[in-house]
Structure 1
Amino acid sequence: METPERGLLARLDGFFFVLAGLAAVYLAYLTLREGITPGWPMLLVVVFWVLVSYLVLPRVHRILSRVYVPDYFIGRTRTADGLLGDPVNLALMGSPTQVHHALRAAGWTRADDLSLASGWRIVTSTLTRRSYPQAPVSPLFLFRRRQDFAYQQEVDGSPSQRHHVRFWACPDGWFLPGGLRVDWLAAGTYDRSVGLSLFTLQITHKIGADVDIERDHVVATVTAADGTATVRVLPDFFTGYHSRNGGGDLIETDGHLPIIDLSRVDVAGAPEAALPVVRIGRPVQTVVGSLMTSVRGIVYAALSSLALIGSRDADEVTAATSVLLALVLGLGALGDLVLAAATFAGHNWSRLLLCASSVLGVASVVAERLVGNLGGPLHEGLLPLATSVLVLLALSSDSAREYALGRRRRRPAPADQPS
């Protein structure tokens, strides 16, 4: 049952979430406006593309998809931005060990988990056209979580072209529409090239439109490698359709759902496999928001020191003003560093305070530009504005919020209360 406190915090989080999207749009607009000035500011046009592709459009899609994308199983995955992703076109029966054993025997390679290191490696491998058989796949979500693992087959040693399939373990007690129980759902597609997403303009893999070909490829390779694997097809399980996935790629399917039964696959001698352990780790959004706030605090501390130094040789009035400025900057530095440390540790109150302070930072720039009717260059004010917007985007994200709230739920009960 939702408590009044939790309901108020949820509404406050929703306010920050939407306002961060609007602030990102405003930052992108000012960046483009600065970028069309002759000279070095033209480089800001590239920054504008990065802002729009990786911050503005993902947040806008996230806001809108909360309204119109169903939050229940409809046979489609979802992207990290909340858009409808690749279709679910396979189901499986069997233990984790049997699934991994069958895929390896069929010539599939398990994809690395997506991280900074693996992400950088796939970028360099694509640019240099070097083979990377374990290249990671982007996260797609089903049952409100990303895939448990993925397998792939590289084509002609090119990381830009590959067969790949993502797997999700079905929750306990969950049944397909119609009442059939399966252990796994999967989404198999074929990466044909690297290009720009139609919906976010991000660099991504483009998939082949006929996803049924990839579905049938997975079935054929697995059943050919092990004669004990059987297949049952649920015809017209989903309505056949033509649509687009989260990257804007055309997809088409006949709606059939093959169920691969691996329950009789012999795994004697195969290494025991289990579902990945779900850890509530510190998300990158929390790290980025805390780090940027810390850097801002250090800058304030340095400016405070400079103000104090400058007050030594100044006249009495100027010295008093410099000392006051140094005090204000010092308090701002202390506040930023304390809030950054608390947010990094997972405290929700500090995260919300940083979101609120970032809103004030954005509002001050907007007021100065609109209410003060100021125009012209904004070079000196663009960086502070960008810092406030980026901190707000990071700490109002779902990942940062869930991490902070998860920490509250994981806090041990006092000794005199039942746990």
Structure 2
Amino acid sequence: MTIQAETTEPGGWSKRWARWRSYGLVENLFFVAAAAFSLMLAVVVLRKGVSRPADVLFLIAFYLVLAYLALPRFHRILTALYVPDYYIGRTRTGDGLLGDPVNLALLGDGVQIRQAMEDAGWVEADPVNLNSALRIIAGSVMRRSYPTAPVSPLFLFGRQQDMAFQQEVDGSPSKRHHVRFWRCPPGWLLPGGARVDWLAAGTFDRAVGLSLFTLQVTHKIEPNIDVERDHIVATLEHAVPQTKVNVLENFSTGYHTRNGGGDTLRTDGALPVIDLSAVPVHAEAPHEEQHQMLSDVGKRPVSLILAFLLILIGIGITFSEVAVDAFHDVAGQVAASGGTRTEVIVANVVALVVLTGLQVVLSTLVFKGFNWARVLLLAVTSVTLVTRLAGAIVRVPGSMDIVQMSVDVLIVYALTSLSARTWTHDRRTLRRELRRKRRDAKALGA
């Protein structure tokens, strides 16, 4: 899509704005298309049916596609349309659903808050990665203690929590007190005009269950979140003498609602403001900047690394699949094309090499941070995926078909993820800034 815009000079802002808008529209279309692809894949997997015990794996695959791909992406699309993009006292999940309510505010810097929480018997949660995810799954199943188990990301001010603390209960990661903290933007004020440095959301995980909205495995929280709020305040007041608390009564109307996992919530609407600005910091405590859990600028997101690995896996599957088809079905292809056996085989091999070569080149450019290559790779993968899905829908697919389509769907999801989109956009901005600096330096040198 091309947006016409009046440009007063070559490369002017109007032209750049038009280019950005057209890119954004295409990216949004692919974001929505990924949800449709996952739903089509779920239908294909379900049509496979269960004719033998091994086919139970396809029912498991259907659940995984529905719960972890299709439903979260549809929620993300819908909530982007109707959930307000300003502070309403609620966090948001990665799927865009309304998450836990904000029920604490704090004064003080990050080092003081971290020091106070540790003195009060809280431990900082590990970051979410593959190792920590496997540990918390194993700990929940085997009831093995994991005091620093990660907490799922929730978003406020457009970013996930800056830090999170917890207290494990009965040596099981299924039950724990936990609280997430977000630094407020500079100059930001609470509704009503009060100034605070941090906001927090504290809840108690009571068990592991299924999310009502996405069917994912998740923690279920205690409905009365005021008990957890008061517990956090009490631990700080008991262990940190410098703690001062001012409660904003009826800060919000008391309400009953649900969080992003579908759990019932109850609160009276009071907001304790915890002043930790007088907390002394231990001499060996590192500076706050070393602890801020901000986005790693310039570091490739996991989604892009996953996409790159999936593309390599997909290429391997395609080579084995197409090679077998090319030699087994060559007689029919010869009759249809009128060529010789050798010509048909060569044509198949050439087409395969060209397609895989294009994928490798584009994925390498995406890995280096070129946004246009990511959009083009999405187009190539989507065309291939639509062809395969259409063929599978009109006939009963084989196991290899489903594996290949699943890989393609995961590639589209990884490339349309917000982390991949943000990183490639940031890299494009960085390259433009470097080019501008080089031009300025060259002009000064001339």
Do the aligned partners of residues 383 and 181 (structure 1) sit closer, same or farther apart at CA in structure 2, a change above 3 Å counting? Answer: same
Matched-pair contact (CA < 8 Å) for 1:110–1:151:
yes
Deviations 1:84-118 (A, max 9, x none): 00000000001112111111111111111111111
Q: How does 1:16-415 map to 2 (within 5 A)?
A: 16-269=30-283, 271-274=285-288, 275-280=292-297, 281-300=299-318, 317-368=340-391, 374-411=394-431, 412-414=434-436, 415=438
Q: 2: distance between equivalents of 1:195 and 1:5?
A: 45
Deviations 1:30-76 (A, max 9, x none): 11111334453232001111111111111011011101111110000
Q: 1: distance between equivalents of 2:37 and 2:311?
A: 17
- The Cα shift of 1:307 comes to 9.3
- The Cα shift of 1:335 comes to 0.9
Q: Which one-letter code corresponds to 2:304 in the other structure?
A: T
- The Cα shift of 1:260 comes to 0.3
Aligned-pair Cα RMSD in Å: 2.3
Question: Alignment partner of 1:205: what SS?
Answer: strand
Q: Which one-letter code corresponds to 2:412 in the other structure?
A: L
Q: 1: distance between equivalents of 2:318 and 2:397?
A: 23
Moved more, 113-122 or 279-288: 279-288
Matched-pair contact (CA < 8 Å) for 2:179–2:200:
yes
Matched-pair contact (CA < 8 Å) for 1:166–1:187:
yes
Q: 1: distance between equivalents of 2:402 and 2:171?
A: 44
- The Cα shift of 1:305 comes to 7.7
Q: 1: distance between equivalents of 2:176 and 2:88?
A: 26
- The Cα shift of 1:234 comes to 0.7
Q: TM-score, normalised by structure 1?
A: 0.93
Question: Alignment partner of 2:176: what SS?
Answer: strand
Aligned length: 413
Question: Alignment partner of 1:390: what SS?
Answer: helix
Q: Which one-letter code corresponds to 2:362 in the other structure?
A: L
Do the aligned partners of residues 130 and 300 (structure 1) sit closer, same or farther apart at CA in structure 2, a change above 3 Å counting? Answer: closer
Q: 2: distance between equivalents of 1:369 and 1:261?
A: 61
Deviations 1:336-386 (A, max 9, x none): 11112111222111111111112212322354466xxx3334444323322
Moved more, 223-232 or 250-259: 223-232
Matched-pair contact (CA < 8 Å) for 1:298–1:333:
no
Q: 2: distance between equivalents of 1:120 and 1:393?
A: 22
Moved more, 267-276 or 341-350: 267-276
Q: 2: distance between equivalents of 1:254 and 1:391?
A: 45
Deviations 1:194-215 (A, max 9, x none): 1111111111111000000000
| Structure 1: gaps (5+ residues) | none
Do the aligned partners of residues 307 and 418 (structure 1) sit closer, same or farther apart at CA in structure 2, a change above 3 Å counting? Answer: farther
Moved more, 51-60 or 315-324: 315-324
Question: Alignment partner of 2:88: what SS?
Answer: coil
Matched-pair contact (CA < 8 Å) for 2:42–2:65:
yes
Deviations 1:146-174 (A, max 9, x none): 10111111111111111000001111111
- The Cα shift of 1:119 comes to 1.2
Question: Alignment partner of 1:190: what SS?
Answer: strand
Q: 1: distance between equivalents of 2:97 and 2:152?
A: 14
Q: 1: distance between equivalents of 2:120 and 2:321?
A: 62
Q: TM-score, normalised by structure 2?
A: 0.87
Q: Which one-letter code corresponds to 2:72 in the other structure?
A: P
Question: Alignment partner of 1:271: what SS?
Answer: coil
Deviations 1:379-414 (A, max 9, x none): 443233223222112111211111111110122124
Q: 2: distance between equivalents of 1:292 and 1:68?
A: 33
Q: Which one-letter code corresponds to 1:7 in the other structure?
A: R
Q: What percentage of residue pairs aligned between the two structures are identical?
A: 45
Matched-pair contact (CA < 8 Å) for 1:175–1:182:
yes
Do the aligned partners of residues 129 and 331 (structure 1) sit closer, same or farther apart at CA in structure 2, a change above 3 Å counting? Answer: same
Matched-pair contact (CA < 8 Å) for 1:369–1:375:
yes
Q: 2: distance between equivalents of 1:8 and 1:124?
A: 46
Do the aligned partners of residues 308 and 253 (structure 1) sit closer, same or farther apart at CA in structure 2, a change above 3 Å counting? Answer: closer
Q: 2: distance between equivalents of 1:334 and 1:278?
A: 33
Deviations 1:202-234 (A, max 9, x none): 111110000000000000110111222110011
